[in-house]
Amino acid sequence: MSRQTIMAAGSMLHLLPQLLDHYWGSDGSGYELKFGSSGALRAKIESGHPCQLFISASSIHTQSLVENHYLKSCALLGLNRNVLVHPVRLRVTEESALGFLMDAQYQLAISTTGLNPAANELEMLERITQVGGLKSGELKKRTRLITGGRETPNAPTGRNQYGWIMETQSVDLLLTYQTNAIEAVADNPNLSFTHLPEVVRVDGYYGIALSSLASPLLTGFYEWLLGSEGQSCLSGYGFRSATHSR
């Protein structure tokens, strides 16, 4: 039997192998792992690319694939909040975050890993622009896009891309998923992160979907992720239960 394929949002690039290892002591090398923007991966599945398990940064994609009979079943995996990574010395709080974001003296970056270029991936920048009373396009123009490892320069082996870029590339503030933020702070102890005001925050409600051709082992992994043990494991990486968002 050919290797089964797991497709996942780019924001799961480092996390998925760890989850697989938690479940059965393997990093997924026995499977074909494909990462990319959720919308692009959905399009691949719809065009006939084999996929036995799909983890999307938006549950809209997994729901659509099941409703249109490309995959068998789906569920909400969890909530991955967008947060603001910053140097500890700035002492940013949730209340002061908006002021820092609007201040042009700070170099702002946004992680596009796991986001869908075909959709409005910069919705959060537009919200900040509107709430802060900035000119249309002003914030986007001065914001650096970071893909999490697919740009030049790239972090050296053993370093987290976000932690390294903020240390070496004059990036002061980074908008990214909390899962990415936890890894960046673990890599660079001079960094911290804070939650964003609800008025500008755009969160990722992750979905997971399973094919009718999934092996029993892969089906077990799907069920484990949705069960109490898997959800507890996900919470350690920054996910929240989608039914208990603040």
**More confidently predicted of 85 and 156:** 85
- 160: Cα separation from own chain's centroid: 15
Q: Which of 178, 195, 212 marks a domain boundary?
A: 195
Same domain, 127 and 147: yes
Tell whether pTM > 0.75.
yes
| pLDDT at position 145 | 85
pLDDT level of residue 16 (50, 70, 90 thresholds): very high
- What is the mean predicted confidence (pLDDT) over 62-68? 97
- Assess whether pLDDT exceeds 90 at residue 121: no
Q: What is the pLDDT of residues 163-204, one digit of tens each?
A: 999 999 999 999 999 999 999 999 999 999 999 999 998 888
Given 195, 213, 231, which residue is the final one in a domain?
195
On whether both 155 and 130 belong to a single domain, the answer is yes
Convert 202-239 to b/e letters by CB count within 10 Å (16 or more is b): bbbbbbbbbbeebeeebbebbebbeeeebbebbeebbb
Q: Residue 176 in 3-state DSSP?
A: strand
Check which CATH number belongs to the domain holding 51 and give it: 3.40.190.10
**Structurally, how many domains does the chain consist of?**
2
Instruction: Judge whether 245 lies within some domain.
Output: no
Residues 165 and 115 in one domain: yes
Identity of the amino acid at 138: E
In a domain, 148, yes or no: yes
Domain that holds residue 153: 82-195
**pLDDT score at 153:** 76
Any domain includes 246: no
Q: Is the pLDDT of residue 244 over 50?
A: no
What is the pLDDT confidence band of residue 245, given thresholds at 50, 70 and 90? very low
Q: Indicate whether 71 and 94 sit together in one domain.
A: no
* CA nearest to 197, candidates 166, 172, 175: 175
How far, in Å, CA of 132 to CA of 201, rounded? 13
Looking at the structure, tell me whether residues 86 and 135 fall in a common domain: yes
Please tell me whether residues 75 and 103 are part of one structural domain: no
Residue range 202-223, pLDDT digits in tens: 888 999 999 999 999 999 999 9
